[in-house]
Amino acid sequence: MSGENQNRQPEGSGRNVRRKSPPAEPLRFETRLLHFGGEIDEATGASSVPIYQASTFHHEDVFNPPAHDYSRSGNPTRQALEDYIAKLEGGARGFAYASGMAAIASTFMLLSSGDHIIVTEDVYGGTYRLLTSILNRMGIECTFVDMTDPEQVKAALKPNTKAVYMETPSNPTLKITDIGAVTGWAREHGLLTLLDNTFMTPYYQRPIEQGVDIVLHSATKFLGGHSDVLAGLAVARTEELGAKLKQLQNGLGTVLGVQDSWLLMRGMKTLGARMSHSEQSAAKLAAWLTGRSDIEAVYYPGLLHHPGREIHERQCRGYGAVVSFDVGSGERAKEVLNSVRLPLVAVSLGAVESILSYPAMMSHAAMGEKVRHERGITDGLLRFSVGLEDIDDLIADLDQALGGKK
């Protein structure tokens, strides 16, 4: 029970005990991941953002309300996360949601009945389902185009087009969209541009710097990084768009809870270390798969033959940790899935442990077979999200699952 500070009174009013002066800007990205402004609690000096497990806030003086009045509208823990992602993406304001789909769905609510959106054809399966089975009923229509070709984007323009939705590299075949070409053209036509940055994260790709208006994330993946939290994030380029997203987030109530906000921030601090390690391993895996005669195709933006690699290198500073490959048939894909011993066989990606998924039966199951095959999501396609295991162990395991050296 003894301790030097037993009887010490908290200094001052308990406010602003943070004694360090803010570091000189600009800091490099890796440093900003740790020194994002919320890393030390202002009231106590605690080494992480406190979890304000409260739904509402006392009004000491009704004429002078507290900064936050109700946690759906704002909570200091969630706010710290929202400021954190805004800073990392280089946007004006950030928002945290209950899932990636909650972030995407809430953002689509910027549109109204009668509006039209141009969408990349191999968009995330859940976004495809939202557009084709929910938003269509609300009178919001969309045209899917192959966004590797900017001419197809331009050709899809209609008088009621309001927005363009990008995902690059796309899921699961890692197709590349020229972000600057799309945002430049969209601006001329007064269109809103949205980009799902889940695969690259701001560590590799910062779309706002290339003219994108709203960046979206399934933070469930690389940002969280540990397969233990479901979350979504959005970042608005301008204050004006931020105010609109704020109204939607509060009005729809799609917010992220405080425990998950804290857990996500904990995960995000190691984003750089995780991403760079996994990327090195992913490059090795992609090269190894390319060297095998029994693999039909390998998709990884870092491979020399990968379509759009030069565009990707211009707009992004890395290749990420996802490698997709075609083992030739659905039967063989299922054999591999049932024979691997190290990766988690699951829906999802972007975690400390490797995750092997089967798009045809998992992430893209909602897509009709014909559309799926047209988009290169064949029955033999597997998606490997490389984690932090030793890559030689992962390769040896995949080698045995594929039935030995070929």
Ligand X SMILES: *Cc1c(COP(=O)(O)O)cnc(C)c1O
Interacting residue ranges for ligand X, rule: CB under 6 A:
99-101, 124, 126, 171, 196, 198, 218, 220-221, 230, 232
| 268 versus 401: smaller Cβ distance to ligand X | 268
Tokens of 276: 């760079």
CB of 300 to ligand X, least distance (A): 16
Tokens of 303: 């491979």
| 103 versus 118: smaller Cβ distance to ligand X | 103
* C-alpha to C-alpha distances, 18 to 13, 21, 44, 299, nearest whole angstrom: 13, 8, 8, 48
Q: DSSP H helical segments within 46-178, as ranges? A: 76-89, 100-108, 125-133, 150-155
Q: Which residues contact 104 (CB under 8 A, 6 or more apart)?
A: 126, 127, 130, 196, 216, 232
Separation CA 174–CA 180 (nearest Å): 18
CB of 160 to ligand X, least distance (A): 25
Q: Taking the CA atoms of the chain, what radius of gyration do you get in angstroms?
A: 23
| 100 versus 257: smaller Cβ distance to ligand X | 100
Q: Which residues of 262-281 are buried (b: 16+ CB within 10 A; e: fewer)?
A: bbbbbbbbbbbebbebbbeb
Residue 233 pairs in a beta bridge with 96, 217
| 200 versus 401: smaller Cβ distance to ligand X | 200
CB of 390 to ligand X, least distance (A): 25
Cβ-closest position to ligand X:
100
Amino acid at position 222, single letter: F
Q: Which residues of 319-335 are buried (b: 16+ CB within 10 A; e: fewer)?
A: bbbbbbbbbbeeebbbe
CB of 40 to ligand X, least distance (A): 29
Tokens of 273: 């270390």
| 98 versus 371: smaller Cβ distance to ligand X | 98
CB of 196 to ligand X, least distance (A): 5
| 235 versus 401: smaller Cβ distance to ligand X | 235
Q: DSSP H helical segments within 158-237, as ranges? A: 179-188, 201-204
* C-alpha to C-alpha distances, 309 to 205, 213, 314, 403, nearest whole angstrom: 14, 24, 9, 31
Residue 157, class by beta-carbon neighbours within 10 Å (0-12 exposed, 13-18 middle, 19+ buried)? middle
CB of 100 to ligand X, least distance (A): 2
Active site residues: 72, 124, 196, 221
CB of 127 to ligand X, least distance (A): 6
- Closest alpha carbon to 199 in 318, 345, 314, 306: 318
| 183 versus 254: smaller Cβ distance to ligand X | 254
